[in-house]
Structure 1
Amino acid sequence: MAESKSPHDALEVEHQAVFAEKAGVADYKADAIEAENAEHNMTVLEAVKAYPMASFWAFVMSCTIIMESYDVFLIGNFVALPAFRAKYGIYHNEAEGYVIATKWQSALQVSGQLGALIGVFLAGPLTSRIGYRWATLTGLMLLNVFIFAFYFAKSLPVIFVSQLLEGLPWGIFIANAPAYCSEIVPIKLRAPATQMLQMFWAIGSIIVGAVTYSYHERADASAYEIPIALQWMFPTPLAILIFFAPESPWWLVRKGKLEAAARSVERLGRKSTANSGETVAMMRRVIELEKSDKKPNHIELFKGTDLRRTLIVCCVYAAQNLTGNLIANQAVYFFEQAGVSTDTAFALGLITSALQMIFVMLSWILTSYFGRRSIYLWGSAGNTILLVALGIAGSVGVSNAASLAQASLGLIVSVLFTLGPAPASWVIIGETSAIRLRPLTTGIGRATYYIVEIPCIFLASYMLNPTGGNLGGKCGYVWGGTGLICLIAAYFGLPEMKGRSYREIDIMFKRRIPARQWKKTEIDVRDDE
């Protein structure tokens, strides 16, 4: 006969179980504190040495941005390409020759963005379910197929549809890349890892500039067919690399796959310096802070403290279209409308793209040492002043000096944008969202970008096109005004997250600390709420 236990014995067993659970929590919290302190105490160079493969895989994932950049700038350059205008344009006058009708110029510019708008809404649920790797691989394979539609298109409506289809995988890439890059690197590398996205955006525009500059004098279809075909050089090599990439350990911890997360951490860092057990414990601690019985959904983005985080991400994304970015995207066409020759316009477009890449690299240093908020605000203020100056240069009459002034200011605005607001935006986007909701937040943020960009493209095309507003440099007044509004909103709403762990960021949002007080607020390493 089994021996019966007294109520006292049962109570003792229960107390022991509770004690063991608390001890386990204490041990894992102690490991989490050790890992967080280790990341805080690293220098940038120490972080690179400790996590060399994290830097490499962030570099690989950032390469996916080249494809959207390439095509956005390609369409922007096509409207200035003589062979493309002769094939698909309408005759305007003897001076202008053939031009793409304003409605089609705008439609082609927004077609990819419309597809990407759908893609970012697909990206969040898809990534939450299957992970960053498989979601990105799906997008790369789809892109290979959709490039065929663009290459064999023989009319503007078919080009429009092909660009819309290409936009679907772009939406996956642009939603996933900043989130993945910010999750696989330690605190000190979050800024350079996410700012690489802006560098690859510039690289895409450099490749386009070089290709279209090489072919712009051709009068046959090869002038635009070869640049289209060159898109195939990206997806397959990237797919092979990403197949071997580690999944984000944060995503694995969210799914309860702690052993897989530990192996991922070991693949990202040197085993001699990266303590995978402590790092996973740090991730568990943050995931527990954000724990919910519900599956991540878009409705949560607009509730409680997550609403503030969503608004910051959406506003930063929207501001990219309102502080000089559209001049950069249509640089060659802008230079033509400013009064310089087609040959010079393409050369200036290539110079602009090369300078943008250099300035993005400079921004790594500035953002790492001076913070995100400071660089974003000062860069936005500088751009706003220059945009107003561009408007003034466009208002002084038609002359060679005025044309050169407009072209110079357009170039400076496009380049300065990549020193301050643009690269800082990617860091802010990667850091602001809650870990649990990150794929959804970056998706809805990028959707805001496209929702704002699409009408702005129609406005920008109308303002520059000789069959539309024909404003030239006077468009600087419009973008200067919108840039000022964005600057004021950022001053009051954008917090400084430099050097903050995800646990600290979560706590500061939950405590509703005003944006301008974040820099001087201290969070104890033992705090969990």
Structure 2
Amino acid sequence: MGAGAVTTSAGTSGFNHLVDPNRKWYNNRRLIALNAWIVLLLITSSTNGYDGSMMNGLQSLPQWKNYFNQPSGSMLGLLNAIQNIGSLASYPFSPYLADGIGRRPTVFLGASLMCIATVIQTASQSVRMFIGARFLIGFGLSFAAGAAPMLVTEISYPTYRAPLTSAYNSLWYSGSIVAAWTTFGTFKIPSTWSWRIPSALQALPSVLQVILILFCPESPRWLVSKGKDEQALKTLAYYHADGNTNDGLVQYEFNEIKSAIEFDRTVASNVGWKSLFSTPGNRRRMRIIVALAFFSQWSGNGLVSYYLNKVFDSIGITDPTIQLLINGILQIWNLAWALIASALCDRLGRRLLFLSSAVGMLVFFTMQTVCSAQFAIHGTDAAAHAVIAFIFLFYAAYDIAFSPLIVSYTVEILPYPLRAKGFTIFNFAISLSLIFNQYVNPVALDTIQWKYYLVYVCWIAFELVFLYFYVIETKNKTLEETAALFDGEEATEHIHDAALGGVTEVREHDEKSSGSSEENVNVASLPKV
């Protein structure tokens, strides 16, 4: 789908006139409770971020390196990649559990496995035991990380859905910050507790989820898909309209969900793995989703995310204290930019953020490459300091799109029957790209050093071209409206008309009950999508 088609997604969502302007996240008791449950789901991403930053920090700890016999090359690559190998092993089961037993129980299962794994990791007596624990962490994480963002996007209040779902992946850096500063704080402990303490703290988000997650509301879309319409309606009403099942917004959401699921099952036949590639709309979805997954890890960020110490060694910064300190500051910088972009994603739009991010990454990574080359040739401190500056600027550009949007954009463009399977493909592609990065990057950095950066400069340029031609704007639309953008006018009209039909029925019922329609929703004024 070319860039010219992007304009077809512009417009105003059909639910906007139904949202109570006085109901805000900070002044409504039930929205506050809903968002508290969402925060519990968001910290799943923190666990993932903690792991990446912890491994980065451990590589700068002499105590960890000495205990595991100075791992390097392929062994170091395996220590980093084994978590993603564990994730690959559980992907065949993850979507079936999320669609079968529900989003909440799947998160609970994943969190439970991660709690067990972190105990084993903390108690590791050998490198094999450490590797096995990290495999189990990845195995459990894919269950939780596969279901949690879908549940976030499916229970959020409509006006907050995009920022909250975008915050999911942004909070990768919250875990990263804790890990970076934990390893910095334990650096001077003259025993194995310098790395066992960070390993143990990795379990905290999962412990909270094991205790609380089963009290969280289940996805109304999952409930409707299982024939539990009444429970789905009550869930929507309780959190989105203070318990009023006849509220116009609740009826719009409920009927839109039912009609979209019905359409995908009967008209579009969107069921099963084969359907991911069986229609032009779904092929467009998968092309974008797989590309975003690889772009998110192959934009040069993998060098700093997992091998920051090697990047610093290449520019003469070898002091572990300085390496850990810069790593800790970088994670705070990343979180700030990612959360700002999450808050603005509906105002600025996905397309603008993606394109701005790609341009910024191309410029700043090119400058980082130039400065690294200058240091290799001349060995000047100024070149080394410039590399650090451009690393920070590169990550600011990366964080305005590829931190907040890759998860939220993926789940919102997928129709409900394909959401779990499509999101699994997304996570599978990320794991493949990470495994490649974690094996290839350390070897390439050791072999050709800064020249390896030129590969990423060319790749980021390709990313910019791809994003320009294929990213579709989806801001200010419901999940069902967004999914329908890929399926043509038939899907759009069917879902929109069914949703408005439900609101009309409520309006007519209210008119008969009150004898007046002055305070009811003016359905005729609602725009067509």
Measured against the shorter chain, the TM-score band is: 0.7 to 0.9
Q: 2:457 aligns with which of 476, 480, 490?
A: 480
Provide, for residues 247-275 of structure 1, a one-character-per-residue CA deviation record: whole Å limited to 9, x for no partner.
00011111111011012213422426773
- Structure 1 stretch displaced more, 262-271 or 450-459: 262-271
Q: 2:299 aligns with which of 302, 320, 323?
A: 323
Provide, for residues 210-264 of structure 1, a one-character-per-residue CA deviation record: whole Å limited to 9, x for no partner.
1100112333211111111112322222222211001000111111110110122
Q: Aligned residue for 1:85?
A: 65
Q: Aligned residue for 1:345?
A: 323
For the aligned residue pairs, the C-alpha RMSD in angstroms reads 2.7
How big is the shift at 1:321?
0.5
Aligned length: 475
Distance 1:483 1:177, change over 3 A: farther
Q: Does 1:356 align with 2:334?
A: yes
How big is the shift at 1:417?
1.6
Note the residue ranges of structure 1 that are not aligned, 5 or more in a row: 1-35, 91-99, 514-520
SS in 2 for 1:495: coil
How big is the shift at 1:407?
1.8
SS in 1 for 2:93: helix
Quote the Cα distance in structure 1 between the aligned partners of 2:99 and 2:123.
35
Q: Aligned residue for 2:369?
A: 391
The TM-score with structure 2 as length reference comes to 0.83
Indicate the structure whose relative CO is greater, using CA pairs within 8 Å and at least 6 residues apart: 2
Note the residue ranges of structure 2 that are not aligned, 5 or more in a row: 1-12, 500-528
Distance 1:456 1:37, change over 3 A: same
Q: Aligned residue for 2:181?
A: 210
Q: Does 1:302 align with 2:280?
A: no
CA contact (8 A) 2:88 2:139 kept: yes
- Structure 1 stretch displaced more, 390-399 or 305-314: 305-314
Distance 1:278 1:504, change over 3 A: closer
Letter in 1 for 2:289: V
- Structure 1 stretch displaced more, 103-112 or 422-431: 422-431
SS in 2 for 1:121: coil
Q: 1:287 aligns with which of 249, 255, 261?
A: 261
How big is the shift at 1:112?
0.3
Distance 1:512 1:383, change over 3 A: farther
CA contact (8 A) 2:357 2:400 kept: yes
Quote the Cα distance in structure 1 between the aligned partners of 2:483 and 2:121.
44
Q: Aligned residue for 1:14?
A: none
Letter in 2 for 1:330: Y
SS in 1 for 2:294: helix
Quote the Cα distance in structure 1 between the aligned partners of 2:425 and 2:194.
37
Q: Does 1:509 align with 2:483?
A: no
Letter in 2 for 1:377: L
How big is the shift at 1:42?
4.1
CA contact (8 A) 1:376 1:425 kept: no
Provide, for residues 400-427 of structure 1, a one-character-per-residue CA deviation record: whole Å limited to 9, x for no partner.
1121111222232234322232212222
SS in 1 for 2:472: coil
How big is the shift at 1:449?
0.8
How big is the shift at 1:110?
0.5
The TM-score with structure 1 as length reference comes to 0.83
Q: 1:188 aligns with which of 156, 159, 167?
A: 159
Provide, for residues 359-384 of structure 1, a one-character-per-residue CA deviation record: whole Å limited to 9, x for no partner.
12211233120101110111111011
- Structure 1 stretch displaced more, 224-233 or 42-51: 42-51
How big is the shift at 1:130?
0.3
Quote the Cα distance in structure 1 between the aligned partners of 2:20 and 2:340.
18
State the percentage of identical aligned residues: 19
CA contact (8 A) 1:121 1:447 kept: no
Matches within 5 A, 1:126-137: 126-137=97-108
Letter in 2 for 1:339: G
Provide, for residues 168-210 of structure 1, a one-character-per-residue CA deviation record: whole Å limited to 9, x for no partner.
1111122222211111124422221112213320110000011
Q: Aligned residue for 2:5?
A: none
- Structure 1 stretch displaced more, 316-325 or 285-294: 285-294
CA contact (8 A) 1:58 1:181 kept: yes
Distance 1:476 1:410, change over 3 A: farther
Distance 1:500 1:234, change over 3 A: closer
Distance 1:272 1:244, change over 3 A: closer
- Higher gyration radius (CA): 1
- Structure 1 stretch displaced more, 256-265 or 277-286: 277-286
How big is the shift at 1:88?
2.1
Q: Aligned residue for 1:62?
A: 42
CA contact (8 A) 2:293 2:427 kept: yes
Provide, for residues 129-170 of structure 1, a one-character-per-residue CA deviation record: whole Å limited to 9, x for no partner.
000001111111111212222122222232222211110111
Distance 1:89 1:404, change over 3 A: farther
How big is the shift at 1:127?
0.7
Q: Aligned residue for 2:471?
A: 494
Provide, for residues 445-476 of structure 1, a one-character-per-residue CA deviation record: whole Å limited to 9, x for no partner.
11011112211222222233xxx2261x5443
SS in 2 for 1:106: helix
Quote the Cα distance in structure 2 between the aligned partners of 1:450 and 1:317.
9
Distance 1:356 1:43, change over 3 A: farther
How big is the shift at 1:325?
2.7
Distance 1:46 1:476, change over 3 A: farther
Letter in 1 for 2:421: L
SS in 2 for 1:392: helix
CA contact (8 A) 1:322 1:486 kept: no
Q: Aligned residue for 1:11?
A: none
Quote the Cα distance in structure 2 between the aligned partners of 1:43 and 1:324.
44
Q: 2:240 aligns with which of 247, 257, 269?
A: 269
CA contact (8 A) 2:306 2:438 kept: no
Distance 1:285 1:240, change over 3 A: same
Q: Does 1:105 align with 2:76?
A: yes
Quote the Cα distance in structure 2 between the aligned partners of 1:424 and 1:45.
28
Distance 1:170 1:384, change over 3 A: same
CA contact (8 A) 1:390 1:477 kept: no
- Structure 1 stretch displaced more, 265-274 or 442-451: 265-274
Q: Does 1:122 align with 2:62?
A: no
Matches within 5 A, 1:451-470: 451-464=432-445, 468-469=446-447
